């Protein structure tokens, strides 16, 4: 079996698995990823978010605009560097933290992997496409 087929199929299944948990929160899967990253640190520049999520500017900017329109984030020019746009959580976005993190726990349970299995799978997937650092 081709690895590419298995990865593509798994990606679709994981995204579909999230959908019933994210719809009540008004989030799409990519928006959920952005919110998780923002919960780790704010503010972040659009470029930093894109790098962290492996999304280019053309992908992440529309996501951020929709999150801003829904009242979850703000986007403002960095006063010290006008080329940078900083993204921060609004109080409404911050209020979703517990609900968003609960989705993560529900997905872990649905995947039927213990903590060690999840960590091993995550680390394997993160290593794909990168040269080994031996």
Do residues 18 and 102 touch, judged by C-beta distance below 8 A? Answer: no
72 vs 109: CA distance, rounded Å = 27
pTM, entire model: 0.86
Radius of gyration of the chain (CA): 16
Residues of the chain with pLDDT under 70: 1, 130-134
Q: What is the pLDDT of residue 125?
A: 84
Model confidence over 2-40: pLDDT tens digits?
888 888 898 899 899 999 999 999 999 999 999 999 999
Fold of 18-127: Arc Repressor Mutant, subunit A (1.10.10)
């Amino acid at each position: 079996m081709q690895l590419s087929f298995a990865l593509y199929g798994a990606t679709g299944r994981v995204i579909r698995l999230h959908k019933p948990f994210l719809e009540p929160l008004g989030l799409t899967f990519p928006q959920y990823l952005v919110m998780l990253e923002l919960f780790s640190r704010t503010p972040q520049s659009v470029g930093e978010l894109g790098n962290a999520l492996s999304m280019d500017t053309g992908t992440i900017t529309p996501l951020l605009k929709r999150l801003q329109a829904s009242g979850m984030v703000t986007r403002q020019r960095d006063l010290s560097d006008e080329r940078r746009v900083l993204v921060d959580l609004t109080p409404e976005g911050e209020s979703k933290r517990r609900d968003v993190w609960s989705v993560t726990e529900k997905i872990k349970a649905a995947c039927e992997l213990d903590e060690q299995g999840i960590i091993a799978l995550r680390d394997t997937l993160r290593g794909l496409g990168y040269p080994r650092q031996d």
